[in-house]
Amino acid sequence: MPTVAEYMKKDRIVSCSPDTTLREASKLMSEHRIGSLLVLGDGQRLEGIFTERDLVRAIAEQADPDKATVSEHMTRHVITVAPYESVVKASQKMLEHGIRHMPVVDSTGRVLGLLSIRDALRAMIGSHEFP
């Protein structure tokens, strides 16, 4: 059974600070061709995740992209996964919570990587393991 550690992205994690503007965040996501940014505070502590969905919601609420910050629109209660968990279990968490990106953290809460729904699907198709 494939584990999260085998399929998570370690080298493509892109983060921002809570005071990053919506415009800066959208540029980062566009430049890196990604759908989410990890929001890291002091000491590289995970404070939230800012996703394409959060950006769409902010724009729909007429937030000023040059003044509004990521911290005002990010998802604060981040669902995470441990690296030793199975990809199947991680996929079930994603489905249960309706999310497409999940930070992978160690027992201290330090971010190790990011697992996307695409990564999970790739793992399950490659191993022919389906829930």
What is the set of domains in the chain, with CATH numbers? 4-127 (3.10.580.10)
Span 47-93, pLDDT tens digits = 999 999 999 999 999 999 999 999 999 999 999 999 999 999 999 99
Averaged pLDDT, 17-31:
97
Residues 6+ apart with CB under 8 A from 62: none
List the structure tokens of 44.
């590289």
129 pLDDT above the threshold of 90? no
d(CA 87, CA 130): 10
Average pLDDT, the chain: 92
